[in-house]
């Protein structure tokens, strides 16, 4: 029987993706392991492999299509001996359900199961990562919302909201005990009352931003152009808002004297072995020292190497340091795993590789997901000091400014020294003031005395 090929979930947070390119055409023979298509997520471009063999009977979603929902049918594969034209004619969208017809190249393949007779409907399978649950029902269908809140609405109201493509969770109910009724949906359709998404009990109501129309009305028509948001920018914007609304940030700042670091860096780079063309085997950056220092500081202050969850604190054994890398349209944070155990040369080599592949959108999900902390360095742009937004699920992020000569007082005299300002943003639920100060103090000690990083 024919197999529906569904849009794969290439990461736990992926909801939609762009079908960048088909590498097979309708009528092409497909073997297990063949690359079928390239899918763009918010972070990377991934190749999708075929698990089954057969003939690509129908391409349902053409290349270049954006915002294709996870588990939507993108193609139909006719099995060995099946009628290709009949399989293509029967292509239709599939309900969102868990299965495994295709696999991203970074995920293991799973074999095709035994099918039923030709009269059976096409199998509808999707490669959700192991352990991932099917998408939750829409709000208003009796599904508990965060913190135990529920959206109470009448069946008619839910149907009207669905037909009008309105999120019923944003409709203000006027029925008994706030129940949403048909009249409320009609009011919402005409631009009437709506409410913010459910918040934790006792939390302040969420302020809604002004509508696009209200913002555009502030400017003279024709004085601007509208540049549509791409998928990357929309997801980054949503996650930054979530981070600032759900994580209680606080900030600690120190000035670090880096004369010793600069001298050590110059000496290490000068002594690097060279190949036959005179190219050095490595070239350390200040950021390499920052990554190593932060990784070792988390080992010295292990209570700060944590992740907050509602059920309990995750206390990590290793320092997995994410490093913000600028890519077209936004940022990505590849992770140096077990950074406390790696030499500066290895960290430097990994970061150069990560940065190159990140800009080409070739990072694998496991290379930028997770981590226990992060570094954001704007020193190369001349920024003296800034505070970064925490990247969930991290509890900390270190913002590093430019190293520059500043006057300091030493032995009662004003002298010039190279100073670098670093600001630690912390999740106050997981890392309180004293603990954050201890972590930042450990970082300052290490960055000012780089020889301690190799002891």
Q: Which residues carry out catalysis?
A: 428
Q: What gap in Å lies between CA 58 and CA 76, rounded to an integer?
A: 5
Q: Are 307 and 255 in contact (CB under 8 A)?
A: no
Q: Which two tokens stand for residue 417?
A: 């020294």
Contacts 24+ apart (CB under 8 A), 176-183: 177/152, 178/152, 179/152, 179/153, 179/154, 180/140, 180/151, 180/152, 180/153, 180/154, 181/153, 181/154, 181/156, 181/157, 182/154, 182/156, 182/157
Q: Which two tokens stand for residue 260?
A: 């010793």
Q: What gap in Å lies between CA 216 and CA 153, rounded to an integer?
A: 34
Q: What gap in Å lies between CA 121 and CA 116, rounded to an integer?
A: 9
Q: 52: which DSSP letter?
A: S
Q: What gap in Å lies between CA 87 and CA 118, rounded to an integer?
A: 10
Which of 289, 291, 300, 373 has its CA nearest to residue 339? 291
Output phi, psi for 452, to 5 deg: -70, -15
């Amino acid at each position: 029987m024919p197999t529906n090929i569904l849009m794969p979930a290439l990461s736990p947070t992926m909801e939609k993706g762009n079908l960048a390119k088909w590498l097979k055409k309708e009528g092409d023979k497909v073997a297990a392991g063949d690359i079928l298509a390239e899918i763009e997520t918010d972070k990377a471009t991934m190749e999708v492999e075929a698990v089954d063999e057969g003939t690509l009977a129908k391409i349902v979603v053409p290349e270049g299509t954006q915002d294709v929902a996870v588990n939507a049918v993108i193609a139909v594969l006719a099995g060995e001996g099946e009628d290709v034209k009949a399989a293509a004619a029967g292509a239709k969208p599939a309900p969102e359900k868990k299965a495994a017809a295709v696999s991203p190249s970074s995920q293991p393949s799973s074999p095709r199961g035994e099918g039923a007779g030709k009269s059976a409907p096409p199998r509808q399978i999707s490669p959700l990562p192991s352990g991932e649950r099917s998408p939750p029902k829409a709000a208003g269908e009796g599904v508990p919302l965060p913190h135990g809140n529920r959206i109470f609405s009448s069946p008619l109201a839910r149907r009207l909201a669905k037909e009008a493509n309105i999120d019923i969770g944003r409709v203000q109910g006027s029925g008994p005990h706030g129940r949403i009724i048909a009249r409320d949906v009609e009011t919402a359709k005409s631009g009437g009352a709506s409410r913010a998404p459910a918040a934790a009990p006792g939390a302040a109501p969420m302020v809604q931003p002004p509508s696009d129309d209200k913002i555009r009305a502030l400017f003279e028509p024709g004085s601007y152009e509208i540049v549509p948001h791409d998928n990357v920018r929309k997801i980054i914007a949503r996650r930054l808002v979530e981070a600032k609304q759900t994580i209680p940030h606080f900030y600690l700042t120190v000035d670090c004297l880096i004369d010793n670091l600069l001298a050590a860096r110059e000496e290490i780079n000068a002594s690097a072995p060279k190949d036959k063309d005179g190219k050095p085997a490595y070239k350390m950056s200040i950021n390499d020292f920052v990554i190593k220092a932060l990784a070792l500081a988390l080992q010295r202050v292990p209570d700060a190497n944590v992740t907050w969850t509602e059920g309990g604190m995750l206390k990590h054994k290793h320092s997995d340091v994410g490093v913000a890398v600028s890519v077209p349209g936004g940022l990505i944070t590849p992770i140096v795993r077990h950074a406390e155990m790696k030499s500066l040369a290895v960290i430097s080599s990994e970061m150069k590789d990560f940065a190159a592949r990140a800009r080409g959108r070739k990072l694998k999900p496991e290379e930028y997901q997770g981590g226990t902390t992060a570094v954001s360095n704007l020193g190369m742009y001349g920024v003296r000091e800034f505070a970064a937004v925490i990247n969930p699920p991290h509890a900390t992020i270190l913002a590093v400014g430019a190293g520059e000569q500043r006057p300091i007082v030493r032995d009662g005299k004003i002298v010039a020294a190279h100073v670098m300002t670093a600001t630690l943003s912390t999740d106050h639920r997981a890392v309180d003031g004293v603990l954050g100060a201890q972590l930042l103090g450990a970082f300052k000690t290490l960055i000012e005395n780089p020889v301690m990083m190799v002891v």
